Structure 1
Amino acid sequence: MKVFSGWRRYLFCLPILIFFLHIISVFELQQNPASHKLQPKHKKFDHLVLGPSAGEGLRDRLQCRGTKALSETNFSTSSRRYNFGDNVAFVTVFATYKSVVDEQKDLTTVGDITYTKVERSMAVLNVFINFIQITMPQSEVIILSDPSSELMVRRDRVIVHPIPGEYSRDKLMLQRIRSYIAFLRSRLQEHSEKNRRLHHYIFTDSDIAVVDNLGNIFDDFTNFDVALTFRNNKQQPLNSGFIAVKGTIEGITRAKVFLQEVLQVYTSRYMKASRMLGDQLALAWVVKSHPSFDAGRFTRKEPFLDKIGGTLVLFLPCLSYNWTPPEGAGQFRGMPLDVKIVHFKGSRKRLMLESWNYLNSSSSSQIPDMLCLILKSGRTKYDF
């Protein structure tokens, strides 16, 4: 009975003890709230963190000593000898979103410059243009934008082309396809009114760096209407950040019809993913739903052709035409020597700006050396 009586006293006191512990914890939280904040799962750096370069010892991968390239890339050996690109135009959709909160917070410093969110977006757009003007100086850059944004970009061979639409964050990927279709429609109308020389078009995200001349796509692969980039990914085998269109009336017409089908699938099947990935899911659905299409070819690295509906589609490997610096572990066995586009998607925008600063910092810096910087920065957790 005495033992039972002792347990009863303990059970009676337990709620009182818990109450006082709660009071103490609340007091500590009020005194030092920062100590109770959730710590981020991964620390993000406000500078590049260099590590070992992946792909060491592999013949078809970039070899580096520090940030000095030991092997020649395609840009080193070929692009300076040819002047491709005078009949190629790059087309991108661009929108900025400004708020008082954004202006007061989220300041980012890269090098000696501190950016607001809007200034950061404009810096990325300008670096996108910079790389094109180095590797393909004869090419035009066409920016599709909301007419109400009054986007001002005063650069040689850069054109702002207003296209009405809904450019909100939630609908931007959907609007991008609509803008592409509207732009192609306007090109067809111009070509029917004037007997002018046709341009090929490369539709891209604005967070890419063109590091080799892409004009030879249209010379080496003469028989296609649309070119897409693929990767070995079952859910998202196609990346919508690169779409090339052959600059013939037939090519532009078929590209417009193809994108209209993608838009229809997008709006009927993937509106829940309208903010991100919906366009890529719709693109993959249109391609993979074709009865004769063999999705097993996405596991290989070679370009291939297939007819999707009435459109002849050229599939190019992301490994060369849409290479992304990986975040964290796993760098896809290094960087191919024939890489032509580096895609700084997601939180890699700092790396894009840092890469341009590095290339522009010294006359001795070359694109292959800059690629070593990118490769060795593959494990950085970037801050935007």
Structure 2
Amino acid sequence: MHKLADRLNHFSDSVIRRMTRIANQYDAINLSQGFPDFDPPAELVTALKLAADNGPHQYEITWGSAEFRQLLAKKQQKLMNINIDPNENVLVTCGSTEAMMCAVMTVCNPKDKVIIFSPFYENYGADAILSDATPIYVPLIPPTFEFDKQQLRDAFAQGAKALILCNPSNPCGKVFNQQELDYISQLAIEFDAYVITDEVYEHLVYEPHRHLYLASFPGMQERTITCSSLSKTYSITGWRLGHIIADKKIIDGCKMIHDFLTVGAAAPLQKAACAGLAFDDEYYAQLTQTYSEKRRLFLEGLDQIGLSYYEPQGAYYVLVDISAFNPFETDFEFCEWLIKEVGVAAVPGSAFFKEPEYRYIRFHFAKKEQTLVAALARLSKLKEKLPC
């Protein structure tokens, strides 16, 4: 038989989801795959029950229900400080995963180059490969995860068609500041490149840091493709509702890709999610406060255990340095041991870093307080359980 497609040789299955499967096998506390163990806001659950009874149950307009797009445009226009037409600038997708895939496929031809900061969410490299594009990795240098300006300029100078920017960053929790975003904007304009932003953690940014939307920077609205999701903001990762906000010409292209990838996001879930999109500012302030407390609890626990980490400025992930744990040849071996012997699941950092010299694992703290306390209690036994 003919061999399968060559693109399959360039990536594996998701390491994040693989760690969840192993965690389930050993009944470990899952701090690997980033989803909460608490319910969404009651308003969304009630709205979902109503949608189950009353519909809609058939196809929605492929680019998203009118109500969803109108509420989303109203919410994001206020945050992003740009004009957003719900009919021309918004596309509803099956999660931000599809949003990012649509964005890359819309702007990139085969062999085009795409800049990706490393560490990076594992899907980005796969998105480029599935689009027959070539990724160029630019390191965010630990422990501060800043980029070298000349390295970034050199990457653009190679003819990059686009840059993928996760802000706040998964996995390191970096929030890009005004000066960094200014420089990225300047390069994108100078080299006539697009910037595809992943902003799913836009509401999870911790004091004194602030989330800035690249699309609002001078000259960037027409070349920025803003991708996001309702998953983290409303604790509905299983609903798979994402979206793209961009210039009409870009959205028109994304609509065509989206139409043949998934046809459309689930109609009753879009209807139910409108209850969340109608929340006022108080909800988002409380969300940030809730996650600030979870971050404080988890980081103080890591301090007491004596584990070294990078303090996240946003999102809900923590990169922990495991370079001192010599008995393990790879971070994957360490994570497997951690699940089996300690009972806590993390993601090996090699799933995120293109550079082989770093030894990190990623935990997340999107859990109930009692779950985090239980995980920290298990992790407190980590060093005494280490093999000799």
Q: Do the two structures share a fold, i.e. TM-score over 0.5?
A: no
